[in-house]
Structure 1
Amino acid sequence: MKTHILAFTLSITVCFGARAELKWDKTEVELHPTPADKQAVGHFTYQNTGKEPVHFKSVHASCGCTTAQTQKDLVPPGDKGEITATFNIGDRTGTQVKTVTVESDDPTNPKTVLTLRTIIPQQLEITPTFVFWKQGEKPDPKTITVKVGKEFTVNHIKVTSSSPDFQAKVEEAGKGEFKIDVQPKETNNLVASTLTIQPEDSQKVFYATARITNAPAVQ
């Protein structure tokens, strides 16, 4: 009887010991693309440290701007591989965080979320992006400051107003910095304008808003 119990115990131990287990080198990657890059690619490497193969059930990204691919659907014991996440930058700037969800038959960790953090250099930093005057206020000019990102070279910017009720004048304020003085013709009427700010020799545009309001605006 004791022999049967011992054999049964050993059988359970062997069954639990022979399992798949996927180990990730890291589940978060931070990328710093250059201004010329159109994509940012992150590599998430793994190894099956268990005794059984691991099957990937699904690999999907959190948004349409990111794609994810795995080298293989089946990972034998001891085998290594990687999942590649590709983020299409487009017109995005600043910090972009995207995720890739990986589902497998790994009993210890059936779902893993991989994080791709992309720091995209910003060509222009505009402060503030909104200027306003109260109705009846003296129409003095108000200033918008434009700073050029350190990864870029911009010698001139062009500013246009969508409304003839506002004028915008650009001046250089130092290396890599510009000052835009925005001035309404008068402040009796509630009008607004979109200011289009464009660096020279660039298709990329930035925007600011000027408005006459009957109450203080919240920025």
Structure 2
Amino acid sequence: MIQRFLLALSCCLLATASLHAALVFETTTISQPAQAGDTEMVAVFRFKNTGETAEEITKLDSSCGCTVPELEKRVYQPGEAGEIKAVFTFGDRTGKQGKEIRVRTAAAPDKPVVLRLETVIPELLSVSPRALLFRSGAQQESSKSATITVSADSPLEELTAVPENDALEVSVSTHPVSGRRILTIQRPDASAPARTAINVTAKFANGVSKTVQVWVIARTQADRPADREKQAPSI
């Protein structure tokens, strides 16, 4: 008798499960490379309610504030299709990127469907090193240099290096052998601040521009701890 009851209960549960709504996505991962100058990635995840009851999407959670999901409505009838549009704003990000969106439903709130966006953002402009230190004393250098790397994905129209302080003398040249672009900074004179920046800007033919800051730090004798102790007033 007990076995018959358990068997009947199991059949009821199976029947209930078969009537349960289910959202089936065409794909849960969308990968697409970014082009030079792109500022965002747009991915559309299409789905369909393959169950026999209505399904409600209760919540969309994003792994990053830079990725915003959009949904036309929340309730989908049996056989009805829909889509989730996700916009990933790049900002200053470069290189390989992956963002996730968790789709929670009323039928399975603790078992979200994970949607993933993948892309590789090209680096339009880079400068190495990003900070140049001029030391004081016997090891004084007359100039410092950094290597400028520009993306080849889009033709370059203009490359400039503008110091934030007029006391800095800077120039951009091309290495005669390697063809690399070199940023050269002459040693700051006494009128220059101890810490200032140079804005290196690349403008491309597609109208996109990118700016990278390079910091210039001039260390004087007074910057050394021993010298600061000597200059400290007596009490």
TM-score, normalised by the number of residues in structure 1: 0.77
Which one-letter code corresponds to 2:185 in the other structure? Answer: V
Once the two structures are TM-superposed, the CA of residue 13 in structure 1 deviates from its matched residue by: 2.7
Change (3 A) 1:4 1:156: closer
Q: Does 1:162 align with 2:168?
A: no
Verify the 8 A CA contact 2:66 2:88 in the aligned structure 1: yes
What amino acid is the match of 1:204? K
The CA deviation at 1:168 is 1.3
2:136 paired residue number: 135
Is the CA contact 2:46–2:84 (under 8 Å) kept in the aligned structure 1? yes
Q: Find the partner of 1:145 among 144, 147, 161.
A: 147
Measured after TM superposition, the shift of residue 196 of structure 1 is 0.6
> 2:85 is paired with a residue of what secondary structure?
strand
Give the corresponding residue for 2:53.
Answer: 52
Of the three residues 174, 185, 188, the one matched with 1:172 is: 174
C-alpha distance in 2 between matches for 1:208 and 1:54: 54
1:1-219 residue pairs with structure 2 within 5 A? 1=1, 5=5, 6-89=7-90, 92-107=93-108, 110-136=111-137, 137-173=139-175, 177-185=180-188, 191-200=194-203, 203-213=209-219, 214=223
How much does 1:56 deviate?
A: 0.5
- Secondary structure of the residue that 2:156 maps to in structure 1? coil
- What are the Cα deviations for residues 53-87 of structure 1, in whole angstroms up to 9, with x where unaligned? 32101224445543322244223344443211022
> Higher helix proportion, which one?
2
Range moving further from structure 2, 22-31 or 162-171: 22-31
Q: Aligned partners of 2:23 and 2:159: how far apart in 1? A: 52
Tell me the secondary structure at the aligned position of residue 119 of structure 2.
Answer: strand
1:15 Cα deviation from its structure 2 partner: 2.0
Deviation at 1:44, TM superposition (A): 1.8
Q: Which moved more, 1:45-54 or 1:161-170?
A: 45-54
Asked if structure 2 preserves the Cα contact closer than 8 Å seen for 1:97 and 1:118, the reply is yes
CA-CA distance at 1:170 after TM superposition: 0.8
Q: Residue 96 of structure 1 contacts residue 120 of structure 1 at CA under 8 Å; is this kept in 2? A: yes
Moved more, 140-149 or 199-208: 199-208
What's the TM-score once normalised by structure 2's chain length? Answer: 0.73
Is the 1:60–1:67 Cα contact (8 Å) retained in structure 2?
no
SS at match of 2:17: helix
Change (3 A) 1:108 1:193: closer
> Cα–Cα, structure 1 residues 74 and 162, in superposed 2: closer, same or farther, change >3 Å?
same
Residue 144 of structure 1 and its aligned partner are, at CA, apart by 0.8
Unaligned runs of 5+ in 2: 225-235
Q: 5+ residue gaps in structure 1?
A: none
Deviation at 1:129, TM superposition (A): 1.0
Larger Rg: 2
